[in-house]
Copies of this chain bind each other. A is one copy, B any other.
Amino acid sequence: MGRRSDARERLLTAADQLFRNRGFLSVGVAELCSEAGVNKGSFYHFFPSKRSLLLEVVEAAWDETGMLRQWEAEPPHRPVDALRSFLEELFAFHYADQEASGRVRGSLLANLSLELAPQDPEVGDKVNELLSREIGAFEALISDALDLGQVSLGSPLHAAQALVGSLHGLLMLARARNDLSVLPDSENELLRLVGVTQPWL
């Protein structure tokens, strides 16, 4: 057995995997402990409840590519390039996840939002906070691209909402069909949605 700090990490990793596979409600604390190789006492030492573990997992899993946090810290100089890189890395993440897990598991945030958000205000608030940050990060980028004349849309907020909706919806579709080929072949289709009229810019 590793040190205590390993136990905490192992619980987070096990939870991330089990919640992606089967959602939150059908995964129990006993199974989380068994998967992580941790006893129940340790579990409750680190996490007061299964929900508190979930909130931490979602916070960590929210930004799959790590790029949204980067943008929040420092806005990229080339917003359309940044958007394209984000879409490439996001799609690559999901192809790699399918390779590793054997099936298309979609977006943890969207999955949880549909499984839990209406019944569970605490999870609902967290999901909303993260969706708002995601929309905000795109809105800032699209706004910068608008200033540079690279997009032709009037409302960066609406474009950002449409993009976030599309991404999570496409991942829902891919998960339902267990087939990532519903993702666009190129990023240009999604860039068109945010008003990038010349996607090669």
Interface residue ranges, A against B (CB under 8 Å): 21-23, 25-26, 103, 106, 110-111, 113-115, 117-119, 124, 127-128, 131, 153, 155, 158-159, 161-162, 164-173, 175-177, 182, 184-185, 189-190, 192-193, 195
* CB pair B127 A26 closer than 8 Å: no
Which B residues are CB-close (under 8 A) to A169? 110, 164-170, 172
Measured in the bound complex, the distance between the Cα atoms of B162 and A172 in whole Å is 12
Closest Cβ of chain B to A19, distance in Å, is 12
Name 9 A/B residue pairs within 8 A (Cβ), A-sorted: A21-B118, A22-B119, A26-B119, A124-B176, A131-B177, A161-B184, A165-B172, A168-B169, A192-B195
Which B residues are CB-close (under 8 A) to A177? 128, 131
* CB pair A189 B159 closer than 8 Å: yes
Which B residues are CB-close (under 8 A) to A167? 169
Main secondary structure of the interface of A (DSSP, over half): helix
* CB pair A175 B114 closer than 8 Å: yes
Measured in the bound complex, the distance between the Cα atoms of B185 and A109 in whole Å is 25
Q: With A26-B119, A111-B114, A169-B170 given, is the CB distance from A162 to B176 under 8 Å? A: no
Which B residues are CB-close (under 8 A) to A190? 162, 193
Assuming A153-B189, A161-B173, what are 14 further A-B pairs, CB within 8 angstroms? A23-B115, A25-B25, A103-B118, A110-B172, A111-B114, A127-B176, A162-B184, A164-B169, A165-B166, A165-B171, A167-B169, A190-B193, A192-B192, A192-B195
